[in-house]
Amino acid sequence: MPAASLKPAAILLAAGFSTRMRAFKPLLPLTKDLTPLRALCAMYTELGIPVLVVSGHRADEVEEEAARLQARTVRNPHPETGMFSSVLAGLSALPAKCTHVFVHPVDMPMTRPLTPLFLLRAAGKEPARTYVPSFQGRMGHPPLLSGAAIEHIRTWPGENGLRGAMDNLPPPLAPCPLPVPDRFCLLDMDTPENLDSIRALWPQRGYLTPIEALELLRIHGVPDKGLAHAQSVGGVAAAWAQRLGALHPDCPVDAELAHSGGLLHDLCKGLPRHAQAAAMYLRELRLPSLARLVEAHHDLALPEDAPVTERELVCLADKYVHGAKPVALEERFAAKLAQYAGDAEACAAIHGRLEQAQAMEARIGALLGGPPARFAAEALNDAKAEKPAHCTSHKHN
């Protein structure tokens, strides 16, 4: 069954009592205008996936908000019996045409759109399986249940909730962990401290952190040589961004975003027009800020009246790294000139790109207070292997 023929829906579980939070989680503010319920409804709706909200505790408030969000609702008459009763209430209200369903607790609002997209892509290849997103080996949310799995889960007596039901599916339907570059699929908000963390992390939801960018490269099977080059370019761009931030506190450059852009600049290496191919893919994953960084890393001019951004740092960092080693700007372009020595038009274009890079080098060097090449070499010499970080918490009950 190709992904295009799937008819998924999303069940949002919003019936619980929020005991540990000591406040009603579905309607707590994450940002000025955003609640967990609103955030998740918006995510699935933007992906074209219909939403069914399961209410229970404070049902009138949840159902009123769901109506404003144009989401269907079903009420769990006995939310005190636990989350699995809400799962069953949601499954019983699914439309007949539904082939797959995401089951998403409303207290896990950080999951990025790319995670459902990864799961749907996998289900398009093996539609009978249940898929569970995982980040660095840890299972997260939401699981994607197939129609066949749903029928088995509806008859489950309830022991260990949804987790127990999924663990007892017959082998052809058994849950399949699916690696995704989204550490936020692990992050819930059971306590006030969790909520504070989510509010602080919310701006990062729009792009991948370096740990996640590296995970995306690994998921795509980028070879060690490509990983080493990506880490070097990302490290140089991040080092420049950190220095810019220290010297110019008003400079709107995000070192983490620059790092991730450098890591992903060659994500689609080997494809025709690989920079544009990578940008298109990242936009499909709803990561436009990263797409903008990678799409022009080959050839980018910096007008005199334009500020230096992460985009220029990634572009120039790529010019200073050959493999994983530092290289002078002129040396990098000399290799291209030698390669196309018999093609006057190509050599003219290469000279033009060199002049653009030199102008960018001068602008960035003035802001850095020294030659960018020197700071690039220092960053590469000081680089250490990144250590994976983990988010906390996962649950299937």
Based on the fold, state whether residues 48 and 111 are members of the same structural domain. yes
Residue 148 · residue 140 · CB < 8 Å? no
Based on the fold, state whether residues 185 and 254 are members of the same structural domain. no
- Write out pLDDT tens, residues 295-329: 987 777 777 778 889 999 999 999 999 888 888 88
Provide the strand spans (E) within the chain.
8-13, 51-55, 72-75, 100-105, 130-135, 138-139, 144-146, 175-179, 321-322, 325-326
Based on the fold, state whether residues 183 and 63 are members of the same structural domain. yes
Based on the fold, state whether residues 171 and 296 are members of the same structural domain. no
Residue 390 lies in a domain: no
**How many structural domains does the chain have?**
2
Give the pair of three-digit tokens for residue 59: 């049902």
Residues 175-185 have a mean pLDDT of 97
Largest CA distance in the chain: 78
Q: Does position 392 have pLDDT exceeding 90, yes or no?
A: no
Q: Does position 241 have pLDDT exceeding 70, yes or no?
A: yes
Q: What is the pLDDT of residue 76?
A: 96
AA identity, residue 101: V
- Write out pLDDT tens, residues 92-112: 999 889 999 999 999 999 999
Q: How many CA atoms within 13 Å lie on the side-chain side of 45?
A: 14
Residue whose C-alpha is closest to residue 83's, from 183, 165, 8 = 165
Residue-range definition of the domain harbouring residue 26: 3-205
In whole angstroms, what is the distance from residue 183 CA to residue 390 CA?
A: 7
Exposed / middle / buried, residue 385 (Cβ in 10 Å: 0-12, 13-18, 19+): exposed
On average, the pLDDT of the chain sits at 91
CATH of the domain at 158: 3.90.550.10
Q: What is the pLDDT of residue 336?
A: 80
Q: What is the pLDDT of residue 304?
A: 79
Q: Does position 4 have pLDDT exceeding 70, yes or no?
A: no
CATH of the domain at 318: 1.10.3210
> Would you place residue 355 in the very low, low, confident or very high pLDDT band (cuts 50, 70, 90)?
confident
> What percentage of the chain reaches a pLDDT higher than 70?
95
Q: What is the pLDDT of residue 343?
A: 84
Q: What is the pLDDT of residue 352?
A: 84
Residue 144 · residue 211 · CB < 8 Å? no
Domain end residue (candidates: 205, 226, 256): 205
In whole angstroms, what is the distance from residue 25 CA to residue 16 CA?
A: 9
Per DSSP, the residues of 54-122 read EEBTBHHHHHHHHHHTT-EEEE-S-GGG-HHHHHHHHHHTS-TT--EEEEEETT-TT--THHHHHHHHH
Residue 261 · residue 317 · CB < 8 Å? no
In whole angstroms, what is the distance from residue 158 CA to residue 69 CA?
A: 31
Q: What is the pLDDT of residue 3?
A: 66
Domain end residue (candidates: 174, 205, 236): 205
Residue 88 · residue 147 · CB < 8 Å? no
Domain end residue (candidates: 183, 205, 227): 205
Q: What is the pLDDT of residue 40?
A: 98
Residues 157-161 have a mean pLDDT of 89
Per DSSP, the residues of 216-234 read HHHHTT--HHHHHHHHHHH
Residue 269 · residue 221 · CB < 8 Å? no
